[in-house]
Structure 1
């Protein structure tokens, strides 16, 4: 069986492509969750990987949950509420936990619609670049649901509380230009240039020393919820390690000769 997440590598950059276009790249099933976890752990173990690009196959980034499975009460959607609560924890909620463990930067290259859990998946990424064809919807309430995958944690941190509330409580879609205006994405580019633009950004990151990149990302993650003293303590512990990194020495040599 083909993996729902296709991983390819070019130099220090990996591209992860959600590849289930026949269901709109829906985030569904334990195979999907396991594929993300495996990709994260592999990237963490491979110090040659310095950046990741996440995109979708075909015309859609991700349609989110599989609504047909919900309507037919298939899989976890047929469980009683007590079992379903546990099923959310042991299935889709493993994705934000996995991405929180990812040590390298992940760039969302949003090639089309990112709906519901697909929108939340974009928000879980560190940096987001959108095709002019992209659109975003925190659409759970429109089918009588709530964001069950951490969307109410990630979205306000990207766009602020009020705009997150607007998207979450109306379920309405916004286009790529509005997403850029709201700082939901850092850039909107012509559709045919999307992967090239994301790749160029990934290369700008990947040219930097591997260990300092991973430690800097960890500090950024800590800063979202940690106190200043906690971040300062981590930085004080990490910086001596960075000073001893051979890549730091090579960077200084290049600086001396420029």
Structure 2
């Protein structure tokens, strides 16, 4: 709860870090933090949720009880596009359930993870319960094969999710590995095309188009395709692109992409 209060009072600091390092605009960064806060708040009530259960007389003369116990050390491998929200989906629950967490953030934007670790220390978490591990594949492989790490939670691309699932499970770990997807928007002929165009552009360009749920394919059922293309084209032409922090209090619609490699891929 102390961590929750500190995070709530200083979320503006974290949003500025996300914007400066990932590129998403400040309002988007703040939205990411609020989604992570929801899980932090769930974890404040977790002692009640992990009590276990007792069933009297489940069969003749047999009572049944379940006890929930910590695994020990658990690993979290998080992606570049949500450097605060995705770790906060995992580590509050893991810590509340009695585990020690090793977080390996993306090497593209690791500063949010370090900020969160310092906040944990300020909240009074004992040293060693929350560790940030920097690095790339070498660091990931260390987590996947370490006999001390009992489980792995991952969000990222599908090929890496498959590699992590296969490698970690081969080493006897519990694994949740969430991969990517190509998201499609299906537009039926009776749709409100102005609303559709707004949503398509917001989903395609918000967070620099790097959200897990970014819309990359629009499927229009005729005869509305030409009208829809015109509306989307008009909105794209009016997008403001620039520094995610904004200039003179005016926030752009889209910040920069995460790397020059990603920019070249998008433009191709």
TM-score (norm: length of structure 2): 0.27
- Tell me which protein shows more helix as a share of its residues: 1
Larger radius of gyration: 2
